[in-house]
Structure 1
């Protein structure tokens, strides 16, 4: 198999040299070029059509996202991996939406960059753990609010359940509260609906769990 061709677009000379050395030392990878700014990177990208583009986002003459967008739209066989210091959500999401399939942070850049390039080219998506965690948190559903019994049931509904738990009938509860039996039954039905139960026994059980009814 032919070596995987790699183009590096990085404005920091130290990082550019380090990345080039890592790629150049791998027998199954081939460094086809390096660029330090957006225009040069775009020119080489068009000419070389590499298998993998390693790109920084903060370039002196523009954003690396322009390169990502071009590669995604014009070079379907080119995989793009961002290698940057920007770990905030706007940069991450903008890169992924533009077409990047890998995202590594420089401050956590592993020594095995060659393995990351191989993974990317094989169809994987190398992502720094801190970035992966943020993406998972962003996609996670909002936690359901904790059930607060006092907020869940009205004072009248809690009172009816309390009397029910003590063995009083609905007619007796109506007399003690000075309301009609119909009103008591309205409180009971609301309690059932809010507690998601279908009987007095279930309602009392759930109310006890929430601390609404105590023996």
Structure 2
């Protein structure tokens, strides 16, 4: 397998396929600033295929909805060519059906588009180490699917994480995109206490990012947007 141009020994080469430029740049910057990554970018399937023909990367990060086709095609093609390349779907919140389909054709995990920069780099590194970065939310969705339990959460599924009313209020603020200061002001609490609440929320929901926390809360019917 040819090494991408400019890659140095020990670096992880990553191809980002995403037609939304700001999203693509944000992911690229997160990896570049973390260090240890050599990043290539493509805005559509044609560009991605051309880059793969020149030199296959270690990791493919691809959106599914692209201007000239579906990223599922690219995942299938890449997986047929090589079982060594790690593949991750760039997903939006609540797009679990597409994530499941991508996993079935060869993806190893998924990355939410609104993930924090440190989460982006860490998730890619976890993928390369042989892990499959799939949140508890997606894992449970897979279980429900295999058990024939598709559909919205039932009343008995609600708040299985045992979130407190205050934690649910803070989770709603996270879902709305409020800053820590905004959440604190809205709830009349100290801004310094918000990170502690969020840490507890992540632990109880078994998630690692804001997007995953919101997705799980929506699945359980804890909040509505």
TM-score grouping bracket, smaller chain normalisation:
0.5 to 0.7
Query: 1:132: which partner in 2?
Result: 139
Equivalent position of 2:21 in the other structure: 13
Q: Which residue is equivalent to 2:122?
A: 115
Instruction: Map 1:71-110; keep pairs closer than 5 Å.
Output: 71-85=78-92, 87-107=94-114, 109-110=115-116
The structure with higher relative contact order (CA 8 Å, sep 6+) is: 2
**Cα pair 1:49 1:75 within 8 Å, conserved:** no
Alignment-derived partner of residue 4 in structure 1: 12
Partners of 1:6 and 1:23 lie apart in 2 by 9
Name the stretch that deviates more: 129-138 or 69-78: 129-138
Aligned equivalent of 2:32: 24
Q: Which moved further from structure 2: 3-12 or 82-91? A: 82-91
Q: Aligned residue for 1:36? A: 43
- In the other structure, the counterpart of 1:66 is 73
| Aligned length in residues | 140
TM-score, L = length of structure 2: 0.57
Tell me how far apart the structure 2 counterparts of residues 19 and 50 of structure 1 sit (CA, whole Å).
Answer: 16
Cα separation, 2, equivalents of 1:28 and 1:76:
22
Q: Gaps (5+ residues) in structure 2?
A: 1-8, 150-225
Report the alpha carbon displacement of residue 140 of structure 1 after superposing the two structures with TM.
4.0
Shift of 1:75: 2.3
- 1:89 CA drift (Å): 4.7
- d(CA) in 2 for partners of 1:15, 1:100: 20
Provide the C-alpha distance between the structure 1 equivalents of 2:93 and 2:53, rounded to a whole number of angstroms: 26
Q: Which has the larger radius of gyration?
A: 1
Residue 86 of structure 1 and its aligned partner are, at CA, apart by 6.4
1:73-131 deviation per Cα after TM superposition (whole angstroms, max 9, x unaligned): 10222100001226445412320111000112324x24321110010011101124432
Give the unaligned 5+ runs of structure 1.
143-215
The CA distance in 1 between the partners of 2:139 and 2:94, in whole Å, is 10
SS at match of 2:130: coil
Provide the C-alpha distance between the structure 2 equivalents of 1:90 and 1:116, rounded to a whole number of angstroms.
Answer: 21
